[in-house]
């Protein structure tokens, strides 16, 4: 079995806490905040790292957001 080793991108810390947090995502020079994303928070510098489930949620949100802005979205 492959061990999943966490290492912080900023401080290279290896200790983290799993939690749900609001994550800001930059889209077309604006910031979209995705709520309740599964993340690993570095205990040293408090940098947030979305888990694979968290990344999937962000991608789903961005997909819905893009659809909402597109002309193909069904009109009422």
Residues that bind Zn ion (CB under 5 A): 8, 10-11, 13, 42, 44-45, 47
For Zn ion, the closer CB: 47 or 62: 47
**Given the complex with Zn ion, which of 47 and 51 has the nearer CB atom?**
47
Q: Would you say 8 or 61 has its CB closer to Zn ion?
A: 8
Residue 20: CB minimum distance to Zn ion, A? 19
**Comparing C-alpha atoms, which of 58, 48, 49, 52 is closest to residue 25?**
58
Give DSSP secondary structure letters for 4-47. -----TTT----EEEEEEEEEEEETTEEEEEEEEEEEEETTT--
């Amino acid at each position: 079995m492959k061990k999943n080793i966490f290492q912080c991108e900023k401080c290279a810390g290896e200790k983290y806490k799993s939690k749900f947090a609001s994550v800001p995502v930059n889209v077309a020079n604006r910031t979209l905040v995705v709520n309740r994303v599964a993340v690993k928070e570095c205990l040293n510098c408090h940098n947030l790292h979305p888990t694979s489930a968290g990344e999937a949620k962000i991608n789903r949100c961005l997909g819905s957001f893009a659809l909402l802005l597109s002309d193909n979205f069904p009109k009422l």
